[in-house]
A and B are shown apart, each in its own frame.
Chain A
Amino acid sequence: MGVVCIFSYAVPEGKSGQQAVDMLQKNVELLGATRSGNFCVDCETYQSNSQNISQRLIHILHNSEHPASCFAALDTGTILVSDLLFDVLMSKLTAAKTGRESFYQQRKGFRIESRGQRYELWDFVIKIGSVSLASNFKGILVEVEYCPCVVASDCWNLIKEMAQSIVGNVADNPPMYIKNKTDPVYSPSDTVNQYLEHFNNFRKTAPQGQPSR
């Protein structure tokens, strides 16, 4: 597990999402990267049902890079990393019992995921994912990971040079989350936080979505 930076790649005008993804994939393959399977990051959102306190959201994320883990994120940025069994617990919490309401309720039409091809190039892992919200195409997220290093501020310049050759100017500045990070050692939950940030941005722009692929 190294340092991951995620960039949102704006689809160029006059091109469909699939065309933009194909172009990025071609770019990466021209650099000499080899395909190493597919990846998927998905996110479900639940809201609390209790009346006394203000409504809180909880996001449950799964990352195919860590297939045995389940990430539960609160709005505050707190992340709980647990086994996949947490899903079962969550389904118990959302199930209503007789005479009592459930603790959490799943938000309908809020399932968002980034899915696509995974590439390996030298010590880098590059993932080009197309984001879909309830099976509507929303945009493209490009993930660049530099595996040997664990300190984000150290290897940002390396990642920058690599990312610029794929997505261009988008990678001029480090992602906000990386910039504001206090703990120097990078961990998988930081990746999940970055995805969540991007997913929330995509949800906000939900109404003007492009036609589905």
Chain B
Amino acid sequence: MKKSEITQNFKFKLEFLLSSINLRIAETQLPLKMGDQEAEKLIHAIKLTQKLRGSVTKVFTDLSNGQTSTKEEEKEMLEDLQKSLLSMNDNLSDLEKISQSLPSTVHQTSNNISLVCLDPATDRTQLPSQLIHAHKWTNKVNRLSDYACQALQQATLRRTNKSQVGPGLSTKRQRRMPPVAHNIPASTVETVLNSLEKHLPDTSITVSRPNGSSCVLQITLSKTLKAVCVLRGFLIEYVNVKGYNEDFLSNDGKIDLWSKSRYKVFEKVSDLMMAGIQHYYYPQMPEITIRTFIQQWFNSYKTLFSAPCSKCGKHLQGGLPPVWRDFRTLAPLHDGCR
């Protein structure tokens, strides 16, 4: 084989190899996320490529120097060429080794390419899963509304039955139904409250109706506390308690139901009373409910400051007097002693 042919062959082979290596390196640069190790490998590969390029250029420059006439010189040149070719070979094998360990992205690119023909927008939105979710949700709502419908139908039946049996007894039921609510007479409520006030000598009850039929009671209990109580018919809806030296008037002289007392003890008592009216909710006999509530339980708060706790025998606990009254015995208890 002639020398020129050999060099030509080499040149082709080298160029092919180089181009393939360059391609691989370019591929590895594609993914944006990569670990530190990968980056290091990549940098190393680039350095090796540069080295290889250097050695290849050396081969070519050696070859391009041309040949000389003397045999010795030719031999020398061939030896040089062999050396540089060997070093080039080493560099090449190194580079090939490292390029194998680098991750290839050819697979991914081909995938992405296959997706180009699809519309990416519909694919990215999670429409199907959301649709399934919404469908399930609608189903659930449907089912619950069915249950509610059943329950309510039964309730209306019961209500009409009762009011047919004894209209006078179930005043609260009547109040709940719009047509009968007119019949619940404010006067009935007031007579009951008046008779209550007569039974309780040092308690004053003032009735006012700031907004329609619901009435607001302002109760002053001895010289201990003041309370507002919102009634709907005979149903106690809300209780707020303040000190004897505080009032329930807002700046413009109207009744202020919501403002809290500035004292911790009455804030606590308000909370406990709100809990207590749950106990005194007895729809069958509403009149008795309000009588027992005001006459007994509420009235027992007269001794809020003077009575010691029936359990621990002390007055103060956590800065508060015994703020709870037992429902049955009306015994004063600390909140922590209940």
Contact = CB atoms under 8 A, between A and B. Distances in A.
Contacts of A122: 264, 318-320
Contact of A151 (B224, B263, B265, B316): B224
Contacts, number: 56
Chain B interface residue bracket vs A? 20 to 34
Interface in B284-321: 303, 305-306, 308, 314-316, 318-321
Interface in A51-105: none
A161 B315 contact: yes
B306 A154 contact: yes
Given A155-B305, A157-B306, A184-B223, A148 B266 contact: yes
Contact of B305 (A1, A124, A158, A184): A158
A154 B316 contact: no
A1 B306 CA distance: 18
B98 to A, nearest CB: 72
Most chain B C-beta atoms within 10 Å of own C-beta, residue among A149, A150, A160: A149
A69 B303 CA distance: 33
Contact of A150 (B244, B264, B316): B244
Interface string A138-156: 0000000011111101110
Contacts of A151: 223-224, 305
Contact of A124 (B266, B318, B319): B319
Contacts of A155: 305-306, 321
Contact of B315 (A2, A121, A158): A158
Contacts of B243: 147-150
A123 interface: yes
A154 B224 contact: yes
A148 B265 contact: yes
Contacts of B245: 1-2, 150
Given A122-B264, A123-B264, A123-B265, A149 B316 contact: no
A160 B306 CA distance: 12
Contacts of A153: 306
A149 B314 contact: no
Given A123-B264, A123-B265, A154 B315 contact: no
A149 B224 contact: yes
Given A124-B319, A162-B316, A184-B223, A147 B306 contact: no
Contacts of A124: 319
Contacts of B320: 122-123
A123 B243 CA distance: 12
A154 B222 CA distance: 11
A123 B319 contact: yes
Closest 8 CB pairs of A and B: A122-B319, A148-B263, A155-B305, A154-B305, A154-B306, A161-B316, A157-B315, A148-B243
Given A147-B263, A155-B306, A157-B308, 19 more contacts: A122-B320, A123-B264, A123-B265, A124-B319, A147-B243, A148-B243, A148-B261, A148-B266, A149-B224, A149-B243, A149-B305, A150-B223, A151-B305, A154-B223, A155-B305, A158-B305, A158-B315, A158-B316, A161-B316
5 contacts: A122-B318, A154-B224, A158-B315, A161-B314, A161-B315
Interface of B: 223-224, 243-245, 261, 263-266, 303, 305-306, 308, 314-316, 318-321
